[in-house]
């Protein structure tokens, strides 16, 4: 039913600009298995993020890495005006399904979901007035942007575009692993590591590293 309203591209076509690691749709189809119960996941940080947004008088929020919409859905439920963006149309399809299923709720009927990427964010979405009160990039999503050029120019461009969406005095929240600690110690930082199935995997996460010419090339957990 969603496809009759929201048309996504055919299977395997990556989003233009930002390399789409989820283009074939396989990750999107099983994502709920990875993250577990949505409520259990968001309950781990709901109070913290809501307090932060309320303390800064935030009403409009741009989620630049919404994926299947887990965090955006939480914020819509809490009364924020949310615009959700992701480079993967396959991931967005599940966010759109949630919006469709809850469309009779006024807040969800106003939930805006757009396909876009960080390298051309200013072209992909419209910035309201001076910008959004808050921009969020959660779930260690920024680490999914590869440094193919080897000079981090794409990372710098993405950060400029993302920060450019924040109004003066607004806040930008980026959830990012402490990779320096991981590379230096070979272990994930102590404490909760909320990513996969929070009720099952809140314990120690052990990373592995692929090195190329004695330098770290790929780190996985």
DSSP state of 177: -
Q: pTM here? A: 0.74
Q: Is 45 exposed, middle or buried (0-12, 13-18, 19+ CB in 10 A)?
A: middle
**What does the domain layout of the chain look like in residue ranges?**
2-176
Task: Return the CATH superfamily for domain 2-176.
Answer: Vaccinia Virus protein VP39 (3.40.50.150)
pLDDT in tens, the chain (221 residues): 344 333 344 334 444 444 455 555 566 555 554 555 667 777 778 898 999 999 999 999 999 999 889 999 999 999 999 999 998 888 899 899 999 999 999 999 999 999 999 999 999 999 999 999 999 999 888 888 888 888 999 999 999 999 999 999 999 999 887 777 777 777 766 665 555 444 444 444 455 555 555 555 555 55
* Contact indicator for 147, 155 with CB cutoff of 8 Å: yes
* Number of Cα atoms under 13 Å in the Cβ half of residue 71: 30
Active site residues: 22, 139, 144, 177, 196
Q: Is 64 exposed, middle or buried (0-12, 13-18, 19+ CB in 10 A)?
A: buried
Q: Look at residues 114, 144, 119, 140 and name the one whose alpha carbon lies nearest to residue 195.
A: 140
Q: Look at residues 117, 101, 88, 113 and name the one whose alpha carbon lies nearest to residue 29.
A: 88
């Amino acid at each position: 039913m969603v496809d009759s309203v929201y048309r996504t591209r055919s299977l395997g076509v990556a989003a233009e600009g930002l390399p789409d690691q989820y283009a074939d749709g396989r990750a999107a189809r099983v994502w709920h298995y990875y993250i577990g119960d949505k409520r259990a996941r968001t309950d781990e940080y709901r109070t913290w993020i809501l307090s932060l947004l309320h303390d800064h008088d935030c009403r409009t929020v741009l989620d630049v890495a919404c994926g299947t919409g887990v965090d955006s859905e939480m914020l819509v439920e809490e009364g924020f005006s949310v615009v959700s963006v992701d480079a993967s149309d396959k991931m967005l399809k599940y966010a759109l399904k949630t919006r469709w299923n809850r469309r009779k709720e006024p807040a969800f009927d106003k939930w805006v979901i757009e396909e876009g990427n960080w390298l051309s964010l200013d072209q992909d979405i419209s910035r309201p007035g001076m910008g959004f009160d808050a921009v969020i990039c959660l779930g260690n999503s920024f680490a999914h942007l590869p440094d193919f050029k080897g000079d981090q120019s794409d990372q710098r461009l993405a950060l400029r575009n993302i920060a450019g969406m924040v109004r003066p005095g607004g806040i930008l929240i980026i959830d990012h692993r402490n990779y320096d600690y991981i590379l230096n110690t070979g272990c994930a930082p102590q404490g909760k590591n909320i990513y996969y199935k929070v009720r099952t995997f809140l314990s120690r996460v052990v990373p592995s590293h692929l090195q190329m010419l004695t330098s770290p090339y790929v780190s996985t957990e």
